[in-house]
Structure 1
Amino acid sequence: MKKHLFTFALALLSALPAAAADDAVLKAMTDEMRRTVQRLRMDNLAKPYFVSYYVEDSTETSISAVFGALRDDNSGISRNARVDLRVGTPGFDNSGYAGQDFRGYEPGSAMLNEEDGYDAIRFSLWSLTDDVYKRALENYSQKKAYQAKKNITEHYGDLAEAESASLFEDRKTPEPFDAEEWRGRIKNLSGLFRKYPKVQNSQVGFNRTLRTARFVSSGGASYRRWWDGVSLNVRATVQDRTGLKIGDEKDFSWPSLAAVPPYEKLAAQVEEFARNMSSLVENVTPEVYLGPVLFEDQAAAEFLNQLFVANVSFPRTPWAERDDYTRYYIASGGLTKKLGMRVLPAFMGAIDDPLRTEYNGEALTGSYPIDNEGVRPAPLELVRGGKLVNFYTGRAPVKEFRSSNGHARGAVNEFPEPRPGSVFFSAQPARRAPYAELKKKLLQAASENGLEYAVIVRRLDPETSKDYSELLSEPVLAYKVNVKDGSELVLGAAKWAGVTFRALRDILLVSSTDQVYNYYQPGPFYYNRGYVPASLVAPSALLVQEMELKPTDTKPDRKPYLPHPYFAK
């Protein structure tokens, strides 16, 4: 059987150059991989049974401005390679072993020459492969010793079989890009903060990246695809009346320049962000609060992302000598052990469909036709009637699923890991309501609990800001809502207490409208974290039955002795 699979793989490799005869990079990858599989062996040690090459070209432009003046204006090109080389067997190989060095748990990767020189690329891949092979042999030996020492008998294999998929896209003509025009836009957007004297620091950044991804594997999978990204980052810092520094950043991402909204809409969103940051200066001191919470807009999306999506990702944790330290450095999906259990309210469902490119005319950045391991995705039902029926998998088997569902994704500097594409949340019509009705129900629930106020949260800190032990990041923009008249006051810095997955099941109602939330999902590795574009189509607001807030532990700083020079005129 092994001989048959090997012969089949070589036949596919031999046919590949015909599909990519015009691509010197892909031809160099294919030829060097064929040579590696056929001839690489050190003495009498194991030879590779599987090899894949991933090469990513990037052309990047980044512009940033502060207070109406350019700060950075850079452009450049790069080419990076990642090698996955396995020794052993699909049942047990060198992968998934961190050893004693969490910092060094990363794939073999290197920068390649930027020009399409066949010989130079083969040389670089040969050199990188040689290094990766030596490390693979060492890891394989150490992993076997670890298994024996820990007496691990429950192991489901390391590389599942997968259909050999191929995809070869031709590059479309790049969109026209006027760098000078974008410099002007970013300067103007940053200049909007001149209207807001309470904002101490601010910056607006723009990034456009054009990528070409190439992949070949000894299993026969291969692809060449193009994916672009455009992003805008707005950040600001204020000090509240006590001197506590509060920072926030708002990120926008689109798959192309054509998807970017008009300047007027961007300016309105930046102004709204600046106003919200200014409002944080004169806040009310938070108290311990235990009651209903209404999550809106970005906070509603991040609530679902951080509590649900991130926790049906990364189902398999690598072995490590200091396994008690793993939780500090490698995230793992906390909900993946709850298959068949209720993880959302019974009236909600969720499906991930990476093949969808837009929703109601809005582009989805989480779409992709093939994953980093060369597996084509399909619509994946995650939750049905509130119960978890699936989670993301790659080619590394787990107890519940022994095959990939096409969600192994990652940046070039990290191992591809199971994670989202575009997640669509649904809810029964009877449990949807207009925003006004949601706020009414919020105040009613608070009143029934004997509370004088309720809480609305409109922005949460980014996922990467939370501690390893926390499930949900701290609120940035939260409001104390008077039960009697519905008036709102901005709450000072607060943090969650005792958040568990129960919060997901405690969703009572959701809004009648949905939002598209495009974002970059962080990978699981603390030391070499990469990001992939993802999308949520989710309710614009969620009413949660009960959550606990308490004042932050962060201490205030002294305020500046002199006012901002621009506003001191």
Structure 2
Amino acid sequence: MKSVVRFAFAASTLCLAAVAQAASDPVLDAMGAELARSQAAYFKAAMPAYFIAYRINDDEQIGVNAEFGTLTNSSSMHVRSLNVELRTGSYAFDNTHAGASDNQPGNLPGYARGNATARIGLDDDVRAMRAEIWSATDGAYWRTVEELSKARADAAVQTAAEDKSDDFSREGKLELIEPKLDYAIDLDRWREKVKAYSAPFKRDAKIYNARAGLTVARTTRWLANSEGTRVRHAELTYLLDVAAATKAADGMDLPGMVRFVASRPDALPDDATVLAAVEKLMADLKALRDAPVIPAYEGPAILDNRAAGVFFHEVVGHRLEAHRLRDENDAQTFKKKLGERILPESISIAFDPTRAEFAGQALMGGYAADDEGVRARPVAVVQHGVLKNFLLGRTPVDGFAHSNGHGRSQSGFRPVSRQSNMIVDVENPIDYDALKKKLLAEIAEQGKPWGLIIRDLDGGFTETARAGTGGAKLLPTMVYRLYPDGREELVRGVDLVGTPLTLLAELEAGDGRFGVFHGWCGAESGFVPVSTVAPDLLIRRVEVQRKPKSQDRPPILPAPDAEGR
């Protein structure tokens, strides 16, 4: 598995209180009618199904974008997708069971089996929706028949699986109908705003790409399954982003971005705040062009809070997603470490999809029910440095027979266990100045000429498969050398790399200055929105390597200046 997390490009979740069963919903009506017919037929077939779930996602998006003060895009998008999940066999052993054929080219992994996806009509035409659901269900059923036969054949000839848990968990019925969300945006006003936000970049002829844009995204998700669960979940996002890029004299591409996420329009920043962020971004890019490139290095470093958030997400979070503990091709880093210390005693980690915000900032990884129809709940995974729990969807693992509400997916994918809002807590935190003094002490103790402070980044990714490196990589953008005399120097050209157990063993301390990283996390079930709340972090020893470098030279002719010369 290779996972990637980047800055947020859309949906921040707005969790709303559940209300009593709403008036008739044509989408749920269509799903319910076809569920009744499908259960009557496929549950009594020669190779009977035992579980069916229908998911319909309705995604709407409007956006306005400008580059260098000129409007470049004003568009809208509206799509609706259907996902059918069908299982044959039993909760104990079904068509998703891992087997030898998983390693054969072209065969679907367990989490993708019994799955059918389709683009469906936008009109709430119950008859048309039922026809589309019927067709997709029939296709999914015949695939599961073949998959179950292969799974049984594999089980007869292969060695016994290490984890003998059931293939699917039994969960209670859930009825949760959230109100649909309306949004309104003055597009004419925002066309002028994004033009004004992108116009200052014209002053720097060495900034080659610059844009500002507002995206408003509304998603409604429906779920109905054969266990009686009925869910309608609503999400709404207002995303304002400013991004620009320049190039150093040696050809290195230097990107930068600022993003603002809100769940309602009046929570977006005012013009003065955005324009101040634009000016800072321009100053950072200018400074990066002139910054020296540093060589590969190992030594002590501070990761400022947002960078620390990506560190915890990639190095710890993905290795807590429990469905991979059933995958014999996965490294399963933490599988045998339950009850052991994996972090300093002062650090605890919880995932809380029920939390809507932190310090006034909307959190993106929230929801009232997950995509498998299990109610969301907080999960304490690390307490005082000791591993206590994993994130679970409806794929059980040894010692954990039930979901804890973390089955998540992008439209068109089957859910697996995924991260939500990660909250990293530090007991008795020190302040930032004390953390910096500790970094200076580490520099002296290790005899290094300097240490690093990573203040901002573009995201990161990790590999968890045994056949891969098992490592993680963070993609810093703003990195400073800290010299023994306290002087700081901006540098460029490095990525942070390392393997999880080695990196975690080098954690020294965290402070009380928390920040939030918002991103889209990509893994087996597509991209899902996540947030991580983390403090600044001191690591005794990190490794950085040179970034890939473009071979393209800067343009021979500079861009026109602000006066068009």
| TM more than 0.5 | yes
Indicate yes or no: 2:165 matched with 1:156: yes
Return the letter of the residue paired with 2:58: D
Aligned mates of 2:176, 2:373 — CA distance in 1: 9
Question: SS state of the match for residue 207, structure 2?
Answer: coil
The alignment partner of 2:136 has SS state of helix
Residue from 215, 221, 236 that aligns with 1:213:
221
Task: Write out per-residue CA displacement over residues 421-476 of structure 1, whole angstroms, 9 at most, x where no aligned residue.
Answer: 222211111xx222222222212221222222111111233225989633122322
Query: Which residue number in structure 1 is paired with residue 367 of structure 2?
Result: 368
Match of 2:146 in 1: 138
> What does residue 492 of structure 1 align with?
492
- Determine if the alignment matches structure 1 residue 188 to structure 2 residue 196: yes
Structure 2 counterparts to residues 243-262 of structure 1, below 5 A: 243-262=251-270
Q: Which amino acid aligns with 2:168?
A: L
Moved more, 440-449 or 50-59: 440-449
Q: Distance in 1 between matches of 2:47 and 2:57?
A: 29
Ranges in structure 1 where 5+ consecutive residues have no aligned partner: 1-17
Q: Is the 8 A contact 1:241 1:281 kept in 2?
A: yes
Question: Where does 1:328-339 land on structure 2 (aligned, <5 Å)?
Answer: 334-339=333-338
Instruction: Give, in angstroms, the shift of residue 392 of structure 1.
Output: 0.4
Q: Which amino acid aligns with 1:92?
A: F
For residues 338 and 66 of structure 1, do their structure 2 counterparts lie closer, same or farther at Cα, with a shift above 3 Å needed? farther
Q: In structure 1, what is the Cα distance between the partners aligned to 2:319 and 2:533?
A: 17
The one-letter code sitting in structure 1 at the alignment partner of 2:534 is A
Match of 2:458 in 1: 461
Give runs of aligned pairs for residues 501-520 of structure 1, distance below 5 A. Answer: 501-520=501-520
Q: 1:233 to 1:338 in 2, by over 3 A?
A: farther
Asked if the contact 2:322/2:417 (under 8 Å) is kept, the reply is yes
Of 385-394 and 265-274, the range deviating more from structure 2: 265-274
| Distance across 2 between alignment mates of 1:237 and 1:96 | 47
Q: Of 94, 99, 106, which residue of structure 2 is paired with 1:101? A: 106
Q: TM-score, normalised by structure 1?
A: 0.87
Quick one: which amino acid aligns to residue 561 of structure 2?
Y
Compared CA separation, residues 255 and 531, structure 1 to 2 (3 A): farther
For 1:177 and 1:494, the matched residues in 2 are separated by: 41
Give the Cα separation in 2 of the matches to 1:393 and 1:333: 15
Work out whether 1:177 is the aligned partner of 2:174: no
Q: Partners in 1 of 2:143 and 2:548 — Cα distance?
A: 44
Q: What is the Cα deviation at residue 133 of structure 1?
A: 1.0
Q: Tell me what 1:288 maps to.
A: 296
Structure 2 distance, partners of 1:252, 1:466, is 29
Q: Contact (CA 8 Å) 1:315, 1:333: kept in 2 or not?
A: no
Aligned residues: 533
Alpha-carbon shift at residue 79 of structure 1 (Å) = 1.3
Instruction: Determine whether 1:530 maps to 2:529.
Output: no
1:359 deviates by: 2.3
Cα-to-partner distance string for 1:314-354 (whole Å, 9 max, x where unaligned):
532776xxx8xx67xxxx86434432222221111012221
Paired with 1:464 and 1:178, the residues of 2 have a C-alpha distance of: 37
**1:203 CA drift (Å):** 2.6
Distance in 1, matches of 2:139 and 2:33, equals 18
Q: Is the 8 A contact 2:206 2:558 kept in 1?
A: no
Of 115, 126, 129 in structure 2, the residue corresponding to residue 118 of structure 1 is 126
Q: Which amino acid is 1:473 matched to?
A: L
Range with greater deviation from structure 2 (381-390 or 91-100): 91-100
- Provide the rounded CA distance (Å) in 2 between the counterparts of 1:248 and 1:311: 29
- How many Å separate the matches in 2 of 1:307 and 1:65? 36
Shift in CA distance, 120/288, structure 1 to aligned 2, threshold 3 Å: closer
1:18-55, Cα deviation, whole Å (9 max, x unpaired): 9455211111100101110111379x631211001111
| Equivalent in the alignment of 2:438 | 441
Quote the offset at 1:103 in angstroms.
7.6
Q: Secondary structure at the match of 1:151?
A: coil
C-alpha contact (below 8 Å) 1:466/1:474 kept by paired residues: no
Kept in 1, the 8 Å contact 2:49–2:87? The answer is yes
What is the deviation of 1:387? 1.1
Q: Secondary structure at the match of 2:324?
A: coil
Shift of 1:96: 5.4
Identity of aligned residues (%): 28
User: 2:410–2:528: 8 Å Cα contact kept in structure 1?
Assistant: yes
Distance 1:89 1:560, change over 3 A: same
Q: Alpha carbons of 1:550 and 1:52: their partners in 2 closer, same or farther (altered >3 Å)?
A: closer
Separation of aligned partners in 1, 2:48 and 2:338: 38
Alpha-carbon distance in structure 1 between the residues aligned to 2:342 and 2:274 = 36
Distance in 2, Cα, partners of 1:119 & 1:278: 59
| Local SS of the residue matching 2:128 | helix
In the aligned structure 2, how far is the partner of 1:59 from the partner of 1:544?
42
Residue in structure 1 matched with residue 16 of structure 2 by the alignment: none
> Partner letter of residue 167 of structure 1?
L
> Per the alignment, do residues 75 and 261 of structure 1 end up closer, same or farther by CA in structure 2, a change over 3 Å counting?
same
For residues 372 and 317 of structure 2, the distance between their equivalents in structure 1, rounded to whole angstroms, comes to 21
C-alpha RMSD of the superposition: 2.6
Question: Judging changes above 3 Å, is the alpha-carbon distance between structure 1 residues 231 and 292 closer, same or farther for their aligned structure 2 residues?
Answer: same
In 2: Cα distance, 1:34 partner to 1:459 partner: 52
SS of the aligned residue for 1:114 comes to coil
- Checking the alignment, whether the CA contact within 8 Å between 2:63 and 2:213 is kept in structure 1 is yes
Which of 549, 554, 559 in structure 2 is aligned with 1:559? 554
Letter paired with 1:79: R
Please, which of 36, 39, 60 is the counterpart of residue 37 of structure 1?
Answer: 39
- Residue type of the partner of 2:195? K
Residues 153 and 256 from structure 1, CA distance in 2 versus in 1: closer, same or farther, beyond 3 angstroms?
same
Task: Identify if the C-alpha distance between structure 1 residues 256 and 339 changes in structure 2 by more than 3 Å, giving closer, same or farther.
Answer: farther
Whether 2:461 is the aligned partner of 1:450: answer no
Q: Where does residue 547 of structure 1 map in the other structure?
A: 542
Change (3 A) 1:119 1:516: same
Residue 381 of structure 1, CA deviation: 0.7
